[in-house]
Structure 1
Amino acid sequence: MLKVLLVDDEMFVRMGLRSLIDWESLGYEVCGEAENGEEAYAEIERLDPDLVITDIRMPVLDGLGLIRRAAEELLSPPSFVIISGYHDFHYAQKALRYGVQDYLLKPVDDEEMEDTLKKLAAKLSMRRLSRKKGEALSSGASSALEMLIRGSVRQEDAPQVASVLGMEKASRFTYAIIGMQKTPESAEEKESLAGRLASSVRSVLGGTAGELPIVEQPPGLYGLLIDASRLEASGRTLEDFLYLLQRELTRSAGLPVVLYAGRTVDRITEVEASYRTACEALLYQYAEDGRPVIAYESVQGTPLSYFDIEPRLYAQLLEHLEENRLEACLRTLDEMLGQFKTKRLAPSAVAGSVTRCVIDIVNVIWGMDGEENSLRTLPGMMEWQDRQGGLGVLRERFAAFLTEASDYISRLRKEQTKGGIEKIRKFIEAHYMENISLKTIAAKFFMNPVYLGQLFRKTYGVYFNDFLLGIRVGEAKKLLRQTDLRMYEVADKVGFQNADYFVTQFEKLEGVTPTEYRNKLIGKA
């Protein structure tokens, strides 16, 4: 029972409140009375009531002073309801900031008082239960449900918890997990989604009033406690209800929803077992992909695999990715996802396979001097294990990651190729005086000489031999201008083994022989 303290300086008002309300039927008991605020404060400290119903105008310490003092001095003050005359309403407004729950005018209407007490019952029960457990829990059904699934509710506390959940008459309970196929990102989206889910549950239950026992679990999961006995009494089976609920939730959420139902238990204190088996049903989200409702009874005892998929698929995926064959890569992805289902992989095994793929791809990027942080889709893949969704959601996210990775690897290859040809150019410019050729350079850089010749021309617009000749002739001109070396000496220094060939090539490029070039510089005809 919730304890109530009545405070009013008029004895007949207190007597009227005692007799006016059927306190016991509402779950309350009047634990004491006081005729002024000072006396009431002492009774609060002695009796620790859940609720104080007080007048405002009283001698010694008025109602407003009592509420303020309790709020400021007590570690866990009670809740307050004010009853007073019409002209004292502006005083009551001041008390709102101290947590006053309601304000009623004298003379007190019994129906109005009962409505107020009914509204407060669940909140006060949860508050008392939380204080008893020594836990800082928020009020409401979600807190009660959290305590149930943790198994921290004793049998003697069961009636209070049932009252908080609006399940006083329930005798059988089923815990179900609502699995969203997409997790809301913002707080506003989460709040909107939670509201739509609650509305859907109310609709399927036939407009159930009161606070619904729905609690958010990890991202994308919502817990729901179902009054199975109520369904049975109405002639509906739990299975029919779950399929109806799944369709309604899918409609209201605007995306696919999967329900995972635990086994039905006969006591509210056994909800932990129903919750635990609902979590076991959740392990079959990939093995039973495509089913809108997965009940523990239907999968109990069926095996799950914690091993890996075929190793060839990893190598095949990387090969297609490195070859920039995205369509083939996506076909391999579909084969992998198919094995997740046909081999009945547990979520941990699926997560291991996905992680291995991601790490292999990141290693490829590192090997090409790339930065994995350049991939915008990588964080989503790394966080995927903490999110919910079936194979369809995983396929969508994985395909986006592969598409971006394929494009990035292609760009890295182009940059790497460009960087490689730049290294070759610098090598030629540093070793032009040596006996080098397209074939010897290609061998040095582990390239096909034909491919190197094509790449050279594509990059610089000239054939390799013409590029090398241009460097050698340019250096020869410099020597002819700055030194008096003989022609065979100049030829040798710029890489020509034959002086006559040097003269021929020089004249071909410059239109004059090396000797004519030098003579023009010194003014000889």
Structure 2
Amino acid sequence: MLVNDSLLNILLVDDEPFIRKGLAALIDWEAEGYRIAGEASNGRNALQLMVEEEYDLIISDIKMPEMDGIEFLSYVRNKKISNARFVFLSGYYDFQYAKTGMQYGCCDYILKPIQKDELLAALRRIMEECRREAGRNKDNKVYEKAYLDRNIMALIWGKYDDVNLSYVKQKLKLTDKVSYLHLEISLRDERFLVLSDEKRREEQRKLYHYAALLLKDRADHIIFDVTKSTECYDIGIIYSDYFAKDRNMSSKDWTVWLVMELTERIGYTIAACSGSKVDSIEAISDSYREASMMRFFRFSSKSENDAAPMASNNKTVKNLQPDYLRKELEDLIHSIEINDTVKIRTSVKLIYSRMLDPHIESEAIGLNIQYLLYRLLGLAYELDANINQDEILHYMKDAVFSSDKIKGNEYKFMRFIEDYTDYLVQLRQNNTKGTINQIEAEIENNYAQNLSLKSLGEKYYINSAYLGQIFKKNYGCCFKDYLNNVRMRKAAETMLRTNKKIYEIAGDVGYKNIEYFINKFEDIYGMTPSRFRKRNLAR
């Protein structure tokens, strides 16, 4: 039978085996909140057991060979081996001797022969004391954690003094490189979205609880509800490099592992983003602000839902952003519009540094990012009113933080702006018919290869996002579906013209997974490849 973790461990110590067995059988220990976790014949043997197991209560005879009960208790207390409570078993003639044990911290004694009622009374007194003490310890831990969180938050917000810094360094195990990791239950998960706010907050606390279980002795690195937003159900983690090293993982793999574990336990989609590593905990606010910017780029449901109407009415959007960044943003947008690469780089560096300013609230960062996205979307909309605004907005958000090879968030931001500027240039040129014909021929001839929008875009010097738009506009489907249709057409032709087996044909047209090939074939032709071949050859 599995034993509940809340049961208290008992060690029985007596040189008479029948006494130990009698004690074990006398009462229902689990019903009283205990379990017998070990037995020893004298104090010396008991000490050996205590090296391997932690005990909450030790029930020991007084008179035993090699090391008696009093010697055993005094040794445990003097050497500070354990804080376990002691109960002595004694005869009437041992009463004065048992009183000596009280001086060393024995909490009770039971006369032999042992009576069930007397044993139960002693166990219940001890259990009540343990519960009161556990309650006090829990209250102290809650208070200490709340105080630690306040000090960590002071560092995260960049508004700290030496007292905050000293306390955090004392309590957290930190390496030279640290970063801020943001985790939240995604509002894009419809199962979570339909919950009441009270239920959502309950799930947020579960997220914190499960993260603490996974981080174990590093749970103090977790902070609950950092953003303080009514529309964000988050926790934050002060990440140190040894988290991943202890599991023989890279930082990225560790984050992926954590997100997968939390998603499995809580049952809702968990979104994560991390700021860049900084040289010390004193600079954690920079990492936090980068993570905040990432969040607004990638997880802001508000910006995603409002994208289309905002793009066609830029005057409405202007009111979102603070006056102190209006000029910088307008300068960047103008530089993008005229394709001035020098001014673009200068503007990006300035804006990025301004957004890391600790005096700017995180909500203001989000509003500025939303404004920039809407204005960029508006530039594309003015050049081609038929563009898919939702798809372009997704591209803008994903492009900033998509590549593993990119060095840092500022560099990613710069690359995104430069790529989007190229995209606008190609929209203006609007002369892609000849290129599309070439790409169509490329797919027709090389359909079995690992083709992608990215590889084709690089080969024919066309922005991959814009190429995806062209496919939808010209063929009424996305690139992936177009490629699948070509492959299935080629597969169907091969089935009717050759005797090749189905799995061979699947490989010939570019599919390694035969089940995936069959499913895709059924989607298009409404039947399995085998049935398709039989039906058409029978005519």
Q: State the TM-score, normalized to the length of structure 2.
A: 0.31
Higher Rg of the two aligned structures: 1
Q: State the TM-score, normalized to the length of structure 1.
A: 0.32
